[in-house]
Chains A and B, each alone.
Chain A
């Protein structure tokens, strides 16, 4: 079956550091890929998405590029802030319209220190 693998953390960085959270996937066909974020005490929020190979999703300074050759969708941000502290989930969906259950990674807890 489909699966998503991501570093679990916690990942601790200083403010303004460069961030990379690795995500790789195993799936048949051409899934859509997503990053969701869960801030402390809040629900899951869609951060960004990419629906086909070489697409780049971006939002709030975060970026991720759909790399089919390496089956990866790594999340990056050039300069993190304390407010970025959260748990980040990589996920995939087989149906292009999001019309199936998402397969999630286990989440990466990110801690940004001032």
Chain B
């Protein structure tokens, strides 16, 4: 498809386990972003990649969160030792100009 895709769409995990969330940006978009959407915090910016450059990690909430982007395209957000407060919808977006286009999100539930 032409849009941003994310997988899985839903993920249920146990506290303390690691999870990986995947994002496929729109073809040709050089910038990629991760956000978190939760009831208490609204939409929070997590991390930003521009091409193959080192990411801006300023929004990551703790060192349990990390992300990588391979070949300037697909990105993976990893949460280690998940906590219940990590439960949220994780959104990915990509951009080539003035606006960011969002994927459908991964709904993460940590039990």
Chain A interfacial positions (CB closer than 8 Å to B): 32, 34, 36, 42-46, 49, 51, 89, 91, 93, 96-107
Contact of A101 with B102 at beta-carbon distance under 8 Å, contacts A43-B91, A44-B91 already known: no
Contacts of A105 in B (CB 8 A): 42
Known: A103-B45, A104-B43. A42 touches B104 (CB 8 A): yes
Say yes or no: B50 contacts A101, CB within 8 Å.
no
Number of interface residues of B (CB under 8 A): 23
- Write out the residue numbers on chain B whose beta carbons fall within 8 Å of the beta carbon of A101: 33, 35, 45-46, 48, 56, 59
Q: Chain A residues near B102: list those with CB within 8 A.
A: 36, 43-45
Q: Cβ of B45: which chain A residues have Cβ within 8 Å of it?
A: 101-103
Smallest Cβ-Cβ distance to B41: which chain A residue: A106
Cβ of B25 < 8 Å from any Cβ of A?
no
